[in-house]
């Protein structure tokens, strides 16, 4: 066989490998990528208002406060030079973090970085093969995969599974895969189901650093360090400081899971500054496998809003307490359900009825209750309650007004 033929075969084999899950776009620099990141930021901020966020890819299921403990996470690597510098920073401060990698970045040059991540005690996690938009199908091999035909639908599912499994297998060669993060936080039900089959945990975030915007690669105004998108940095003082913007988010949650991207030079230079600021402000560092801090993420289902309780100890989640009330108007028996105070929004959880913030004291304070839902048999599974339309409590979260049918103690009628 001629040398020319051999060269052609090698090129073809490389092309086939690279196209296993679509285009190998190392920097996934689409024209609208800044818009996708911004949309995920807005979705994560608004998710608490009306939807069940238990399976939303951009939102971590465990809620604040987090006792001033911060878990740093980095997406889109490994980068040949920038990821090692992030690792140097973390090592200097004794911090363990999580790195969500894209499989198409793993090669002979970057594989040693993965080994270093593991050897230094960090978590190696899955961020798909080549960073597609799971919801639209963009950057998967089938550009028109949203077609409703069975053939196209089958192809779309195959591509989702390939995106997840290819990187899953890369990680499995080095350590046990546990966590997955959807690119842009854009999950689908079918992809969630495939994560379940593989035993992977979908991992969102509490604080988006917006580094993709500040780095000017996707959304800046021409000046590195500026983020002019008002939906990301509504505080104009923060539009010129990723550290100030991120600190504000961390302070709001008193910690939590923070999102960065270790492919950006700006991120690499600013993470040390943020770490010093956090230390000065009394924060400590943890990782996403902290079961006590992030029980739902790690597969433990604590009591939740609407669960039946007899005392506060039963409601063993941050901010939870047991609302005790008469089981009926003609009985001395008592009943109770888990609740928490709210300022307009309440958290939701997978497998639980949706929640709603209303008031039991004439609008002075807000309290979380379960919505009337098939999950709770339309309130019948919560003793002493009945389905009743209630107005949303408008507190400092400043939500939009809404009226919803929820489960409240029957005596309040």
Instruction: Kindly list the catalytic residues.
Output: 75, 261
Q: Which three-class secondary structure state does DSSP give residue 314? A: helix
- Determine how many CB atoms are found less than 10 A away from the CB of residue 376: 22
Alpha-carbon distance of 310 to 131, in angstroms, equals 47
Q: Which three-class secondary structure state does DSSP give residue 375? A: helix
Give the H/E segment covering residue 39. Answer: helix 33-50
- Determine how many CB atoms are found less than 10 A away from the CB of residue 231: 12
Which candidate, 229, 225, 231, 286, places its Cα nearest to that of 257?
286
Sort residue 26 into left (φ over 0), alpha (ψ -120 to 50) or beta. alpha
Phi, psi of 12, deg, nearest 5: -65, -45
Token pair belonging to 153 = 């639908």
Contacts of 19 (CB under 8 A, 6+ apart): 141
Q: Which three-class secondary structure state does DSSP give residue 105? A: helix
Do 227 and 213 meet the contact criterion of CB atoms below 8 Å apart? Answer: yes
């Amino acid at each position: 066989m001629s040398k020319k033929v051999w060269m052609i075969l090698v090129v073809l084999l490389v092309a086939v490998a690279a196209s296993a899950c679509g285009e190998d776009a190392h920097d996934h620099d689409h024209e609208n990528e800044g818009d996708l990141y911004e949309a995920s930021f807005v979705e994560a901020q608004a998710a608490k208002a009306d939807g069940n966020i238990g399976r939303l890819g951009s939102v971590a299921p465990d809620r604040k406060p987090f006792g001033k403990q911060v878990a740093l996470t980095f997406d889109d690597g490994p980068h040949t030079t920038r990821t090692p510098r992030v690792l140097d920073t973390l090592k200097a401060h004794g911090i363990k973090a999580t790195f969500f990698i894209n499989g198409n970045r793993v090669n002979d040059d970057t594989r040693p970085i993965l080994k270093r991540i593991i050897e230094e005690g960090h978590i190696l996690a899955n961020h798909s093969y080549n960073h597609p938009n799971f919801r639209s199908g963009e950057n998967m091999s089938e550009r028109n995969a949203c077609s409703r035909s069975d053939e196209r639908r089958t192809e779309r599912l195959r591509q989702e599974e390939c995106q997840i499994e290819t990187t899953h297998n890369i990680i499995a060669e080095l350590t046990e895969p546990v966590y997955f993060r959807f690119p842009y936080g854009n999950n689908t039900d079918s992809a969630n189901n495939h994560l379940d089959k593989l035993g992977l945990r979908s991992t969102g975030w509490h604080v988006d650093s917006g580094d993709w915007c500040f780095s000017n690669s996707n959304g800046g105004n021409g000046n590195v360090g500026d983020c002019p998108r008002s939906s990301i940095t509504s505080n104009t003082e923060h539009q010129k400081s990723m550290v100030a913007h991120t600190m504000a988010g961390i302070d709001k949650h008193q910690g939590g899971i923070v999102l960065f991207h270790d492919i950006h030079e700006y991120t690499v230079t600013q993470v040390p500054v943020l770490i010093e600021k956090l230390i000065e402000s009394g924060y400590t560092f943890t990782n996403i496998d902290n079961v006590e801090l992030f029980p739902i993420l790690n597969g433990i289902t604590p009591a939740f809003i609407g669960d039946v309780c007899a005392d506060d100890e039963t409601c063993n989640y941050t901010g939870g307490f047991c609302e005790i009330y008469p089981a009926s108007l003609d009985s001395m028996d008592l009943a109770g359900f888990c609740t928490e105070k709210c300022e307009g929004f309440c958290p939701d959880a997978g497998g639980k009825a949706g929640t709603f913030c209303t008031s039991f004291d004439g609008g002075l304070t807000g309290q979380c209750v379960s919505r009337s839902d098939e999950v709770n048999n339309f309130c019948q599974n919560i003793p002493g309650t009945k389905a009743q339309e209630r107005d949303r409590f408008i507190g400092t979260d400043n939500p939009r007004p809404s009226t919803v049918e929820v489960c409240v103690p029957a005596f309040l009628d």
